[in-house]
């Protein structure tokens, strides 16, 4: 029987919290390489910056690769929207009140100009339906992106068979990368 988003969110937050620092670092190294294999050079790539207290993958080492145009978001919690700004290996990030690193407000890009979005998640199902923290930021942002935008999820864990309460406005991933396997949806 499929679990609900709330049940899966609770379970996978606990699973992630139980990962060792070594497991997180090893998975990060593998996933960063896999990301670079999936995206064409010169792409405009939106990435997430890790919330360290949530044991999220650290994608910031990718910023040294100058073949790509990297962007990271600033979040607006009252509207549940994100705006992405140009970043590189020299960008200094500030930590907002929710412990999320954010870039300076410089070099804004329109969602329609993004070629690839690397998306954080707790888990997804075999259809690419993802579960994040439940605020809808990524679904809201992805709805504004062009149809051809690659929605690339990265996670420590493989997909579950299904999620009981998927909504019509949930936006599916095209690809999920895990340290062990890649999934195409």
Calpha distance 178→159 (Å, rounded): 9
CATH code of the domain covering residue 40: 3.40.50.10420
Q: Please give the C-alpha separations between residue 78 and each of 25, 40, 47, 81, in angstroms, as whole numbers.
A: 33, 34, 22, 8
Residues of the chain above pLDDT 90, percent: 89
pLDDT digits (tens, 9 = 90+) for 116-148: 999 999 999 999 999 998 788 999 999 999 999
Count of all residues that appear for the chain in the document = 185
Count Cβ atoms within 10 A of the Cβ of residue 153 and give its class: 0-12 exposed, 13-18 middle, 19 or more buried: buried
pLDDT at 1 over 80: no
pLDDT digits (tens, 9 = 90+) for 6-60: 999 999 999 999 999 999 999 999 999 999 999 999 999 999 999 888 899 999 9
Domain count across the chain: 1
Boundaries of domain holding 71? 5-184
Model pTM score: 0.94
Q: What's the confidence (pLDDT) of residue 110?
A: 97
Calpha distance 133→10 (Å, rounded): 10
SS3 of residue 35 by DSSP: helix
Q: What's the confidence (pLDDT) of residue 53?
A: 84
């Amino acid at each position: 029987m499929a679990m609900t988003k709330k049940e899966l969110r609770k379970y996978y937050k606990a699973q992630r919290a139980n990962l060792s620092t070594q497991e997180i670092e090893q998975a990060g190294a593998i996933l960063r390489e896999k990301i670079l294999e999936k995206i064409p050079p010169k792409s405009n790539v939106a990435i997430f910056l890790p919330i360290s207290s949530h044991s999220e993958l650290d994608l910031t080492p990718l910023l040294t690769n100058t073949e790509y145009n990297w962007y990271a978001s600033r979040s607006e919690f009252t509207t549940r929207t994100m705006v992405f700004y140009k970043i590189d290996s020299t960008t200094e990030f500030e930590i907002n009140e929710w412990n999320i690193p954010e870039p300076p407000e410089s070099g804004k890009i329109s969602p329609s100009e993004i070629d690839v979005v690397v998306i954080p998640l707790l888990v997804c199902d075999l259809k690419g339906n993802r579960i994040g923290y439940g605020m809808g930021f990524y679904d809201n942002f992805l709805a504004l992106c062009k149809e051809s935008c690659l929605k690339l999820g990265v996670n420590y864990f493989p997909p579950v068979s299904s999620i009981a309460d998927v909504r019509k406005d949930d936006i599916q991933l095209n690809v999920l990368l895990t340290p062990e396997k890649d999934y195409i949806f």
